[in-house]
Structure 1
Amino acid sequence: MKWTDTLDIALDLIEAHPDVDPQYIRFTDLHKWVCALPGFDDNPEKSNEKILEAIQMMWIEEQD
């Protein structure tokens, strides 16, 4: 998985953190959790606020 795979990342985050409300997650935590996902193999330094926000929005959308 790469940073641009927002749907796949969001689905994996839903499974990994079912009790988390993604509306209130800090980007520092989100970054750490994405990097820890099995199958994630992108450079941790390639993320930015726009990418993390896209992942957060996808997570919120998929959780509903």
Structure 2
Amino acid sequence: MAREIHWTDTEEIGIQLQEKFPDLDPLTVRFTDLHKYITELDGFADDPSTSNESKLEAIQMAWYEEFKDASS
């Protein structure tokens, strides 16, 4: 079973998003879609309503770092 992840687990969420969507450039993802992708991850155990723009932006940047690493 996947360990529980929360909004503050930005690096872990970034890794999982890169694994789930390897061909998707994170910088092209709208925050509404990003929110949906995160809340649908295995192990996501946080309150979806406690998300905010700064949390989503931090996760998007963590995902982007994984995306760049995978592309190089």
Please, what TM-score do these two structures have when normalized by structure 2?
Answer: 0.86
- Aligned counterpart, 2:38: 34
Match of 1:2 among 6, 13, 18: 6
- Structure 2: state its 5+ residue gaps: none
> CA separation in 1, counterparts of 2:24 and 2:66?
13
- Number of residue pairs aligned between Structure 1 and Structure 2: 64
Q: Which whole-Å deviations, capped at 9, do the CAs of 1:2-53 have from their partners, x for residues lacking one?
A: 0000000000000111111001110000000000000010000010000000
- Aligned counterpart, 1:18: 22
Matched, 1:56 2:60: yes
> CA separation in 2, counterparts of 1:19 and 1:63?
8
Match of 1:44 among 35, 41, 48: 48
- Structure 1: state its 5+ residue gaps: none
Which structure would you say has the larger Rg?
2
Contact 2:22–2:67 under 8 Å retained in 1:
no
Spell out structure 1 runs of 4+ moving beyond 6 A: none
